[in-house]
Structure 1
Amino acid sequence: MTQSDSDLSVLAVMALEWMPDAAPPHPALSQQQAGLLAERIGHDLALLVPEVTGLDLMVMGAHFDPAEALRAGWPLHRRLHELRLRAPGRNAAPRIIALGADAAGEIPQPLQAEAAMQGGALRIVPLLLAGENAAAVGEQLETLLLERGMARAETALLAQEAFATRVEHVRYLTIHDLAAMMALQYRNMGLEPLWGLIETALLAPGKAAWLDAPPEPLLYLTNGEVRAGLFSDAAWRERYGGDEQDPARLARLRGFFDARLRQFAAVLEAHDLPLLYVDIAAGCDAKTVLMEA
């Protein structure tokens, strides 16, 4: 979205936490179900910020992994923005527009979550509020949703019935709230060092950023990709071996390092940040090699 577009849009989600023993939910709602849920969502948000009723509300009637929403350029919300521009009645009264499966039950491309990322207990339904007063509404929602953003019981029950599973919690979050929640989860999972690169890709996509904190892998974010140092054994010992001389212990430490790099690669892939491995030889300045790759 252009800057003017983003000024007129509020990016948000309905966060759904399934019960631990819940049946697999339906991947997407029918058009009728999506429409009913969108009306309930609009009512919930208007109870918090009455000015919501003066904006278009777009609801994607499908659920996604949070990482699918937290990608550079906000691709899920970009789809909603593009569909809003194509929907009829753009210059008429504010609209509630819901996207669901077609009459044959087929799920259109915008509603298809990545198969490899299904199965998590926390899923999100993308929401977009758009219109002339969106910036002011967005400021209020940023202030209110973390503390008061639980969906009403009627809305949570409808979501549970529509997705045909058992829901533990249903709440609303702005995209920044969702990012803060993911940052906390990553910290609890020992992935905090990686979040700085992801956050830069989301909020400052034109900027470069480093993860340069041994014993962590060396990573460099630039131009929407992440370059990772792939160290030869000798180069790895120079950077990470310290005073260790025991070959068996060095081998174990190298194994831990390689596993950590694979873990980072999986997380970056979830956020659609491609990883480019760059060979680092002994005696080289690793950061210079990554910058010049």
Structure 2
Amino acid sequence: MAEAVFRGVFALELAGGQAPGKAALSQEAAGELAVGIGRDLARLVDGVAGLDLVLGAAHFDPAEALRPGWSLHHRLEELHARAPGRNSGPRMVAFGAAADGGIPMPLQADPALVGGGLRVLPFILAGTAEALGPVAEALEEKLLALGMAQPETALLAQDGFEARIEHARYFSVHDLAAMMAMQYDNQGLSALWNLVEAALLAPQAVEWLDAGPEPLLRLEGGEVRMALFDPAGWCAHYHGGQGDFDKLQRAYELFLARQRQLAAVLEAHGIPVLYVHCDGQQDARSLLDS
């Protein structure tokens, strides 16, 4: 029977936003933390103990867990497929730092995304669709409200990562996405989140951000095409070619800063941005659609 997976994260809210002292746990500490996580999840939902639990014992920015194809969790699925013991009963598999302290490539976080106050450790539960289905459904219902880690599990993470942790809890990736959507809404990025969400959940969709004075973006095939306007093209698209550009100079500079902000968010989510030059001589939407 085909294997199915539930994708989740162990989320660490850091005290004062202070970065952990270690990027990944030793292999021994990773195994101990996996046992704690498995125990916590089994307390919440019957059936967890009958599934494989696979943990990546390194911390990442939440955006890294919300990339097209669920790439962070897909790495765990690949590692799980190569792990010994298949068909020998439920397994608990944890991946940590090498014996010399080096961090294997699948566990290396994006160095451009360090410093956030929330870090997440990816995990999957794996089993047959028949066994996993009810468990996954129950976890989706319970984790957001009841998914606080037990104190002993939080302490394992705190000691292992040399971190000051205020809260440690479990989310499904869908819970994490909903939380991120609220944060982006508070930051005035709700329209951009629609593109990120489409890349995650509907990879074949075509989505636009076309709401002036926002930059013009088009998502298709996991890539965003962004209209790159020179001053004349920007005036033509957003102001109908009317107005004194000298008076609009500040607005244009703010527009360019907004473009850089949106591009940085998209790239944090692993969505490449292709810039399409628009000089106002052709319709910008048509250029992005070509």
Task: State TM-score, norm by structure 2.
Answer: 0.95
Aligned to 2:27: 31
Q: For 1:91, what is the secondary structure of its paired residue?
A: coil
Residue of structure 2 aligned with 1:214, choices 212, 215, 220: 212
Deviations 1:260-282 (A, max 9, x none): 00000111110111111111122
**1:238 maps onto 2:245 in alignment:** no
Residue of structure 2 aligned with 1:263, choices 248, 261, 264: 261
**Post-superposition shift, 1:35?**
0.4
Q: For 2:69, what is the secondary structure of its paired residue?
A: coil
After TM superposition, the structure 1 = structure 2 runs for residues 1-293 of structure 1, keeping only pairs within 5 Å, are 5=3, 8-20=4-16, 22=18, 24-132=20-128, 133-241=131-239, 245-292=243-290
Distance 1:195 1:68 in 2: 15
Distance 1:203 1:138 in 2: 17
Q: For 1:216, what is the secondary structure of its paired residue?
A: coil
Distance 1:21 1:263 in 2: 22
Deviations 1:135-172 (A, max 9, x none): 22111111001100110111111111111111011000
**Post-superposition shift, 1:241?**
2.2
**Percent of residue pairs identical:** 55
Instruction: State how many pairs are aligned.
Output: 287
Distance 1:134 1:212 in 2: 40
Pair 1:21–1:137, CA change in 2 (3 A): closer
The answer as to whether partners of 1:244 and 1:250 remain within 8 angstroms in 2 is no
Q: For 1:171, what is the secondary structure of its paired residue?
A: strand
Pair 1:247–1:288, CA change in 2 (3 A): closer
Distance 2:78 2:145 in 1: 31
Pair 1:282–1:247, CA change in 2 (3 A): closer
Structure 2: 5+ residue stretches without partners:
none
Which AA in structure 2 matches 1:258? L
Distance 1:208 1:14 in 2: 32
The answer as to whether partners of 2:60 and 2:109 remain within 8 angstroms in 1 is yes
Deviations 1:39-76 (A, max 9, x none): 00000000000210110000111000111111001111
**Post-superposition shift, 1:114?**
1.2
The answer as to whether partners of 2:27 and 2:96 remain within 8 angstroms in 1 is yes
Distance 1:146 1:23 in 2: 24
Task: State TM-score, norm by structure 1.
Answer: 0.94
Which AA in structure 2 matches 1:44? D
Structure 1: 5+ residue stretches without partners:
none
Distance 1:212 1:92 in 2: 53
Distance 1:170 1:25 in 2: 17
Q: For 2:55, what is the secondary structure of its paired residue?
A: strand
Which AA in structure 2 matches 1:17? E
Distance 2:39 2:158 in 1: 17
The answer as to whether partners of 1:56 and 1:94 remain within 8 angstroms in 2 is yes
Which AA in structure 2 matches 1:92? S
Distance 1:224 1:73 in 2: 10
Which AA in structure 2 matches 1:240? Y
Pair 1:274–1:22, CA change in 2 (3 A): closer
Distance 2:82 2:154 in 1: 30
Distance 1:125 1:89 in 2: 23
Q: For 2:137, what is the secondary structure of its paired residue?
A: helix
Deviations 1:81-100 (A, max 9, x none): 01111111111110110111
